[in-house]
């Protein structure tokens, strides 16, 4: 019998990469989608998986819809990737962020507990939970949390609820504490895609500048396609657990900008980058860098794509996309 997986957030960045991996492993993949007037299937289409996913209707803020989906699909594995995932928006929409990212996870865990208790559960936790915690320049599974945004706070709640269902009800629940992971499918608001799209437009003569909030923050950036493999591996272990997934290297926003301009042969990047306070955050997370000893030792997971390869991949994809649009 085919294994089955329910993936929430199937139209985002990670959902289609995970679906591709699971389909290659011969899973049946259910993708949860909430009601949109005009849903866009661009990301699953980009990876060629759209036709193979069975879409099911539901919303993390509507418990009865989750119960219905869990009860009818009874999946072997549930990957909760759905979220209000843009940190910057979480100050303006703190309650919505909390309802989706925190209470939504509680509802999903409850639906599994009552209607499919043997389903294994993956929660998309995040390095944003660490926030200011940066004792020795790294963060790992033992680093205390100090979230800096309503987004980070909502994710800390979901993290602990995931741990609590494991400890209280003996359910197989895991947290993947993923550091920033990017790809050509990244939403245009996130800084990496904003930069690569801007650089592609400048290269093609379609724009002059990129407006950014801050060049100093440092992030541990990896490739989303590598990171979904770690999600899968967590649920294949004998015992559930929580794992940091990262590259172990950190770069500033400025490093990313320089690498993206270099990828198209432009050296005077300063001419094209404007600092714009509209994109600054009320409280910043200055430095993220993950220590990945546990995931390497216990999951055998390692990132494959380097920082430079990632930047080049994203710039190339944006140039191709724009050239296609122009013709
Ligand atoms: O790309 P970002 O918006 O990602 P951020 O806030 O690090 O969050 C991402 O990674 C988290 C994992 O650590 C996820 F949990 C989360 O869902 C999301 O995927 O911003 C990266 C950095 C920040 O320090 C931000 O302040 O870039 C800085 N930045 C500077 N100028 C900017 C800009 N970010 C954006 N989006 N736009 C700017 O103009």
Distance CA 155, CA 144 (A): 14
Distance CA 197, CA 91 (A): 25
Specify the pLDDT at position 224. Answer: 98
Distance CA 6, CA 131 (A): 30
Ligand 1 atom nearest the C-alpha of 286 is: 24
Could you tell me how far CA 308 lies from the centroid of its own chain? 20
Q: Does residue 127 contact residue 147 with C-beta atoms inside 8 Å?
A: no
- Fold adopted by 4-181+222-245: Rossmann fold (3.40.50)
Phi, psi (deg, nearest 5) at residue 122: -115, 125
Pocket lining: 62 vs ligand 1, CB cutoff 6 Å: no
Specify the pLDDT at position 135. Answer: 67
Q: List residues bridging with 218 in a β-sheet.
A: 252, 287
Residue 239, class by beta-carbon neighbours within 10 Å (0-12 exposed, 13-18 middle, 19+ buried)? exposed
Ligand 1 atom nearest the C-alpha of 253 is: 27
The 8-class DSSP code of residue 145 comes to P
Phi, psi (deg, nearest 5) at residue 251: -140, 150
Phi, psi (deg, nearest 5) at residue 217: -55, 145
Residue among 182, 190, 220, 247 whose CB has most ligand 1 atoms within 8 A, to mutate: 190
Residue partners of 26: CB distance under 8 A and separation at least 6? 2, 3
Specify the pLDDT at position 305. Answer: 98
Pocket lining: 191 vs ligand 1, CB cutoff 6 Å: yes
CA distances from 95 to 80, 87, 89, 100, 197 (A): 19, 13, 11, 9, 31
* Dmax (CA) of the chain: 59
Task: Answer yes or no: same fold for 4-181+222-245 and 187-220+250-287+306-326.
Answer: no
Angle subtended by helix axes 224-236 and 14-24, to nearest 10:
60
Residue 266, class by beta-carbon neighbours within 10 Å (0-12 exposed, 13-18 middle, 19+ buried)? middle
Residue among 15, 175, 219 whose CB has most ligand 1 atoms within 8 A, to mutate: 219
Phi, psi (deg, nearest 5) at residue 222: -125, -175
Specify the pLDDT at position 326. Answer: 74
Specify the pLDDT at position 38. Answer: 82
Residue partners of 132: CB distance under 8 A and separation at least 6? 146, 148, 285, 286
CA distances from 246 to 42, 99, 132 (A): 27, 27, 17
Specify the pLDDT at position 154. Answer: 98
Kindly list the catalytic residues: 126, 128, 151
Residue 87 alpha carbon to ligand 1 centre in Å: 7
Mean pLDDT, 10 residues at a time, over the chain (327 residues)?
A: 97 98 98 89 97 98 98 98 98 98 98 98 98 88 97 98 98 98 98 98 98 98 98 98 98 98 97 98 97 97 98 98 87
Condensed to tens digits (0 to 9), the pLDDT of residues 196-234 reads 999 999 999 999 999 999 999 999 999 999 999 999 999
- In this structure, the residue with its CA closest to atom 7 of ligand 1 is 180
- Fold adopted by 187-220+250-287+306-326: UDP-galactose 4-epimerase; domain 1 (3.90.25)
Specify the pLDDT at position 51. Answer: 98
If one counts every other C-beta atom within 10 angstroms of the C-beta of residue 57, the result is 12
Which H or E run contains 166?
Answer: helix 150-169
Listed by start position, the domains of the chain span 4-181+222-245, 187-220+250-287+306-326
Angle subtended by helix axes 191-203 and 253-263, to nearest 10:
30
């Amino acid at each position: 019998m085919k294994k089955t997986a329910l993936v929430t957030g199937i139209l985002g960045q990670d959902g289609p990469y995970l679906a591709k991996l699971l389909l290659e492993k011969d899973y049946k993949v259910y993708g949860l989608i909430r009601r949109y007037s005009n849903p866009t299937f661009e990301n699953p289409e980009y990876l060629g998986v759209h036709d193979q996913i069975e879409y099911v209707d539901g919303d993390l803020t509507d418990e009865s819809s989750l119960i219905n989906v869990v009860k009818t699909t009874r999946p072997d594995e549930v990957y909760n990737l759905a979220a209000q995932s843009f940190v910057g928006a979480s100050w303006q929409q703190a309650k919505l962020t909390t309802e989706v990212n925190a209470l939504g996870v509680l509802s999903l865990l409850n639906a599994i507990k009552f209607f499919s208790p043997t389903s294994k559960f993956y929660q998309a936790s995040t390095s944003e939970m660490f926030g200011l915690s940066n004792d020795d320049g790294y963060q790992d599974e033992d680093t205390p949390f100090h979230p800096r945004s309503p987004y980070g706070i909502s994710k800390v709640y979901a993290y602990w609820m995931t741990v609590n269902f494991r400890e209280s009800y003996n359910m197989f629940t895991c947290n993947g504490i993923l550091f920033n992971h990017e790809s050509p499918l990244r939403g245009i608001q996130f800084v990496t895609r904003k930069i690569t799209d801007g650089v592609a437009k400048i290269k093609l003569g379609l724009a002059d500048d990129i407006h950014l909030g801050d060049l100093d923050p440092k992030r541990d950036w990896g490739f989303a396609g590598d990171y979904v493999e770690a999600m899968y591996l967590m649920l294949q272990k004998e015992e559930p657990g929580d794992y940091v997934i990262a590259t172990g290297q950190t770069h500033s926003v400025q490093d990313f900008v320089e690498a993206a301009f270099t990828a198209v042969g432009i050296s005077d990047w300063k001419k094209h980058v404007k600092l714009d306070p509209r994109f600054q955050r009320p409280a910043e997370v200055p430095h993220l860098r993950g220590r990945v000893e546990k995931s390497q030792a216990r999951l055998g997971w390692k990132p494959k794509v380097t920082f430079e390869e990632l930047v080049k991949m994203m710039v190339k994809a944006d140039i191709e996309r724009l050239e296609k649009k122009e013709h």
